[in-house]
Structure 1
């Protein structure tokens, strides 16, 4: 993975047009390998009869619980539900105040409605306090919450990071737990078919066997060339040289991922900028409210425990792994669900589109001006469903044109 020397909470110009960081963060070392324990591989049996992965998650939530009020950013999905359940169990075991779930309500965004699942979890945990604010367009990508954060901190990834601003404000002086990192921690290996076949999670089709073996043994640059053909980087708002450069960078990054899941978790995922940059950006935003923020599924001890627990083949997915490690905490039907809430409508609810209508190409100077076609970008923003990858550029343009006039931090 190519190291990147950019600040840990800021995006490079190419990352900005992609909307996300990539590559390895310079100065972040891989995680050491966790040795096997006396009862077998670490993660199979931990203290108190729970797995080492469960024990690592319990340890990860404890500092936040010791700094009340401890709020949990709780959507009702499986990741945030598990974090809330573990935090509740640990708080009661340690004699600490219960964590408080915090759930956004967007009445005008049907995809975000998770009330039945949320009520199932909160009821099962017997929690007495639950914060459920209702929003209309306040959480738009350029709504009042996002604008205040942009003026204070400049542009931080991801574009929807301001969703946590009200959570941090409600937890001022305390702590916030999130379910960030659950997708990466529990998703089954899909990228390398040879791993699924070797782990007997997919059938071997003999006609594909030579291709699978060659892919596994091929050098990274060959895999990068093959990966480049299938990357979704057909953004019409990028100038052709920029699109080629971005596609090449992303292909090299993805091709550098090790075949073994445990090695990937320690040496590719942990030092990766997609984890490190997002975590540092959250810390910066939380710090403005004197809040300790923690992401149990994306912290070093949990990733290290997961690497040993899931081994070379990686996890089998949430439906298989979550009941195994956390099944005693929540109703079984929660783990079996396959749907997930969507919040895109909340981020494109009016203010962002209004700015796009009056935008005439300003605010994207310097390196960004060489990468972006302003007319094509504006057309994308004014389309029925603009690509979310373009919204970081929208925030850059607004901050340079309108936010800076009101004392904003420059969009470095």
Structure 2
């Protein structure tokens, strides 16, 4: 099973971002015949997971996981199936990662307090902390570097299913932003900081050009935007990586927001919209059938404080310069980036690559599969 997991390339790891489309080409977001309302498509998407209890839901209190949880609870009660089980991480010393008030409101609204399970984490979820080490040792580098966040939930779901909100950032939000105001444009006259200060100059130029090209390539019309995001390697690696780890634990992993059925329904009903906001899409998806608290605007949590903890700090402090592709990475420049704390989140995959390289160098350890 581990040989079949799609992995980031050395360039993905060095850049800190996965770019490009799948070689098979874009997946169509439309289909022939009448499409159901998007809400109905989501209900159909969560049903296989609910029919395989326990059905755990990775629930942060954000918009995407709240939408998935609300739909799962609605379908379970209508079909006479066991309620979904919300699984929520709580973090120490990470104030920007909290969405506690929203979590409690949503759980109360959905009457799921009896099923809600809260997992506690301090340094446990560090990029190379104990949970990440279990995943890295068994599966090698995966994308995103935060993929280990789901591992304890997958382990608890053995024999059952896991629902996630993966895909919401792409399908519902995309990259397009409203035009900047004059004040914003005037404030950008200063030269922006180098987004890839750890790369060799030519690699940094290629990375910068590639990122700008991909951002410009995102379509404005919703139907084309959905199809484009579904074909991107970034989303494919995230979905298939989690699905493979879950299957290895006898767990069915379902990410309904990134599913073909929901994408087709959303594109068929609202595909002509031009650069719709996440709020606008959530409103038409909910169609007044879900409690308002589910789709109410809220501040997104920031998880950098969760993943950048003592183990990462120790690793970058003691780093000897080995374990990276020095044809892409400027070792001296990366050492400078890693000399300040917190380190840039764009180097998270490099942190894990360095840790894996050190593990492989230990006598008696089997060689781990390197990223292709």
TM, length-normalised to structure 1: 0.80
The reply on whether 1:248 has 2:222 as its aligned counterpart is: no
Matched residue, 1:209:
none
8 A contact 1:61–1:87 mirrored in 2: yes
The reply on whether 1:383 has 2:340 as its aligned counterpart is: yes
What is the alpha-carbon distance in structure 2 between the residues aligned to residue 232 and residue 34 of structure 1? 44
What is the alpha-carbon distance in structure 2 between the residues aligned to residue 13 and residue 93 of structure 1? 47
Q: Describe the SS at the equivalent of 2:118.
A: coil
- Pick which of 342-351 and 241-250 moved more: 241-250
8 A contact 1:286–1:292 mirrored in 2: yes
Q: Describe the SS at the equivalent of 1:132.
A: strand
Superposition map of 1:70-219 within 5 A: 70-127=55-112, 128-187=114-173, 190=176
User: Once superposed, which parts of structure 1, at least 4 consecutive aligned residues long, lie more than 4 Å away?
Assistant: 230-233, 327-330
The reply on whether 1:69 has 2:66 as its aligned counterpart is: no
Structure 2 residue runs of 5 or longer lacking an equivalent are 183-190
What is the alpha-carbon distance in structure 1 between the residues aligned to residue 118 and residue 100 of structure 2? 10
Residue 26 to residue 11, structure 1, CA distance change in 2 (3 Å): same
- Pick which of 17-26 and 93-102 moved more: 17-26
Q: Please provide the CA RMSD for this pair.
A: 2.5
Residue 260 to residue 315, structure 1, CA distance change in 2 (3 Å): closer
Report the alpha carbon displacement of residue 249 of structure 1 after superposing the two structures with TM. 2.5
What is the alpha-carbon distance in structure 2 between the residues aligned to residue 261 and residue 233 of structure 1? 31
Report the alpha carbon displacement of residue 94 of structure 1 after superposing the two structures with TM. 1.3
Q: Describe the SS at the equivalent of 2:127.
A: coil
Residue 257 to residue 319, structure 1, CA distance change in 2 (3 Å): closer
Larger of the two Rg values belongs to structure: 1
8 A contact 2:62–2:300 mirrored in 1: yes
Q: Describe the SS at the equivalent of 1:25.
A: coil
8 A contact 1:117–1:334 mirrored in 2: no
Matched residue, 1:54:
39
Matched residue, 2:267:
307
8 A contact 2:30–2:263 mirrored in 1: no
8 A contact 2:126–2:310 mirrored in 1: yes
Report the alpha carbon displacement of residue 304 of structure 1 after superposing the two structures with TM. 1.6
Matched residue, 1:354:
314
What is the alpha-carbon distance in structure 2 between the residues aligned to residue 248 and residue 87 of structure 1? 41
Q: Describe the SS at the equivalent of 1:104.
A: strand
Report the alpha carbon displacement of residue 231 of structure 1 after superposing the two structures with TM. 9.2
Spell out, residue by residue over 1:219-259, the C-alpha distance to the aligned partner (whole angstroms, 9 max, x if none).
Answer: xxxxxxxxxxx997632110001011222333333333334
The reply on whether 1:11 has 2:19 as its aligned counterpart is: no
8 A contact 1:19–1:390 mirrored in 2: yes
Spell out, residue by residue over 1:321-367, the C-alpha distance to the aligned partner (whole angstroms, 9 max, x if none).
Answer: 32333264554244232311122111011101101111111112xxx
Matched residue, 1:410:
369
The reply on whether 1:234 has 2:182 as its aligned counterpart is: no
Matched residue, 2:218:
257
